[in-house]
């Protein structure tokens, strides 16, 4: 395997290699576009081949360097293989951004247990599997960054989608724990916790769709900017958590 730069040094990400899950849409797609425009080399991961082809093609048309990997983050072997493929392609990894997520609707009485399981498998376990897959490679490279896209739904409570909230609350605990686990190996773990974002995921949620009618939401690019901001910090600086909400959002 070719030698690889250690951690991000701050100020520039050109030439650094990263992995993005959920890269086919929403925040993941916006992050991919932004990082590619700064010269990062990217492994784009999504379960939807058509969406993945679209974003990879757009980035390559603009001269960006990407490799696309169709994988389900809820399958640990699949995400392990995806991380290995990224390392083989780029010689190592400097960072990973976990954006893969699914929405949920329905309360305790009318919720779908099968969907509840999917929410846990993708939102929580999928992030854990991704973290496990990339930590070893970040450590081998001398450190790096893991960005976890959480939500203010992991900081507040409301009625209507208890399993989605539980998955996001779980991500807060996971991120804070992984930050301590990664620190000795110079791996920074940052939780980015946005409020309402105008994405297909929000529109598929009954609660999110109602909120979109009364709130001026964030856009995926707004959150992508914060993720890039975290990655560009000097390697001795650790943001830990970033919370951003629409001004008029109550929760």
Considering the entire predicted model, what is its pTM? Answer: 0.91
Torsion of CA 227, 223, 132, 25, to 10 degrees: -130
Note whether 102 and 118 are within 8 A (CB). yes
Give the pair of three-digit tokens for residue 61.
């048309």
For the chain, how are helix, strand and coil distributed in percent, rounded to 5?
Answer: 50, 15, 35
Which residues partner with 97 through β-bridges?
20, 147
Tell me the per-residue pLDDT of 220-244, one tens digit each, with 9 for 90 and over.
999 999 999 999 999 899 999 999 9
Measured between alpha carbons, how far is 131 from 81 in angstroms, rounded to an integer?
13
Tell me the per-residue pLDDT of 14-65, one tens digit each, with 9 for 90 and over.
999 999 999 999 999 999 999 999 999 999 999 999 999 999 999 999 999 9
Domains of the chain (ranges, CATH numbers): 17-244 (3.40.50.720)
Give the pair of three-digit tokens for residue 81.
């293989």
């Amino acid at each position: 395997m070719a030698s690889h730069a250690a951690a991000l040094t701050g100020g520039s990400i050109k030439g650094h290699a990263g992995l993005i899950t959920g890269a086919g849409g929403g925040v993941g797609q916006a992050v991919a576009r932004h990082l590619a425009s700064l010269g990062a080399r990217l492994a784009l991961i999504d379960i939807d081949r058509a969406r993945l082809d679209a974003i990879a093609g757009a980035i390559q048309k603009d001269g960006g360097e990407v490799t696309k990997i169709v994988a389900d983050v809820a399958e640990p072997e699949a995400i392990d293989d995806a991380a290995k493929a990224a390392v083989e392609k780029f010689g190592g990894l400097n960072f990973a951004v976990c954006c893969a997520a699914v929405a949920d609707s329905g309360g305790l009485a009318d919720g779908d247990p099968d969907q509840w399981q999917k929410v846990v498998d993708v939102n929580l376990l999928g992030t854990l599997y991704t973290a496990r897959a990339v930590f070893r490679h970040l450590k081998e490279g001398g450190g790096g960054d893991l960005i976890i896209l959480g939500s203010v739904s992991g900081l507040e409570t409301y009625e209507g989608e208890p399993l989605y909230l539980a998955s996001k609350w779980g991500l807060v605990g996971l991120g804070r724990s992984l930050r301590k686990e990664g620190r000795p190996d110079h791996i920074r773990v940052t939780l980015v916790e946005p409020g309402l974002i105008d994405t297909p995921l929000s529109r598929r949620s009954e609660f999110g769709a109602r909120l979109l009618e009364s709130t001026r939401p964030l856009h995926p690019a707004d959150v992508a900017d914060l993720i890039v901001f975290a990655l560009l910090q000097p390697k001795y600086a650790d943001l830990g958590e970033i919370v951003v909400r629409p001004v008029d959002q109550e929760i």
